[in-house]
Amino acid sequence: MVTVSDVKQYHFCKAIPWINYVLGYREPLTFSMEEGKKVSYEEVVKLLNLTLPVKYDVCLSYNGLSGCVDILAGDKRYTVVEVKAFKRGNFSHFRYQLLAYAYLVRKRLGIVEKAILVMDGKKVLDIEPTEEHYRYIENIVKKIEEIVNNERLPAVNVEKCGFCQYRRVCPVSAWS
């Protein structure tokens, strides 16, 4: 089963899901991940003035995709929130992670009115997911499944290798 984290990693570098599934390597817990566990979801709920009820760490799966939403607010019409401890310069891969969570909520629970990304205590992205977004996520899940079921490493963007936690295990990284 493909995870929402795989969707995020795929958008950073297509080789990462392959490394995880084919080589069996998992990224070690990073400082950012550790700090993320310390973020108060209750403070984020207040910051965003979210509709009750609010649930935390809601785990869902559908059609080969699984993941746990940080914050889910509402009843029948939902707001999905992904929380990151730190702001990054480029966070486009988190956009796809957020849309993948919205996809799971839409398919399992109901309409998603908003998908919000919070970084360093600030709202940095607010999306109204569409059926086009959901179709895109379904296609990406299929692409990831193809990658992880293939013996060959997919093409990589070597410009990102210097910033990648996987550079020491990636077969094509200049840092290997």
Query: Does residue 147 contact residue 17 with C-beta atoms inside 8 Å?
Result: yes
* 172 domain residue, yes or no: no
Six-digit token pair at 118? 């919070």
Average pLDDT over residues 56-61: 98
Output the DSSP codes for the chain: -EEHHHHHHHHH-THHHHIIIII---PPPPHHHHHHTTS-HHHHHHHHTPPSPEEEEEEEEETTEEEEEEEEEESSEEEEEEEESS--S--HHHHHHHHHHHHHHHHHT-EEEEEEEEETTEEEEEE---HHHHHHHHHHHHHHHHHHT-SSPPP--GGGGGG-TTTTT-TT-TT-
pLDDT in the model for residue 33: 66
Per residue in 64-101, pLDDT (tens digit) is: 999 999 999 999 899 999 999 887 777 788 999 999 99
* 141 domain residue, yes or no: yes
Percent of the chain, pLDDT > 90?
70
pLDDT in the model for residue 90: 74
Weakest-pLDDT range from 34-38, 55-59, 167-171: 34-38
Average pLDDT over residues 104-120: 97
pLDDT in the model for residue 175: 53
User: What's the domain count of the chain?
Assistant: 1
* 69 domain residue, yes or no: yes
Range of the domain at 71: 2-163
* 109 domain residue, yes or no: yes
* 157 domain residue, yes or no: yes
pLDDT in the model for residue 26: 82
* Higher pLDDT among residues 28 and 47, named by residue: 47
* Higher pLDDT among residues 174 and 95, named by residue: 95
For residues 76 and 111, what is the distance between their CA atoms, to the nearest angstrom?
6
* 170 domain residue, yes or no: no
pLDDT in the model for residue 174: 53
Average pLDDT over residues 113-119: 97
pLDDT in the model for residue 8: 95
Which CATH number is 91's domain given?
A: 3.90.320.10
Query: Does residue 19 contact residue 6 with C-beta atoms inside 8 Å?
Result: no
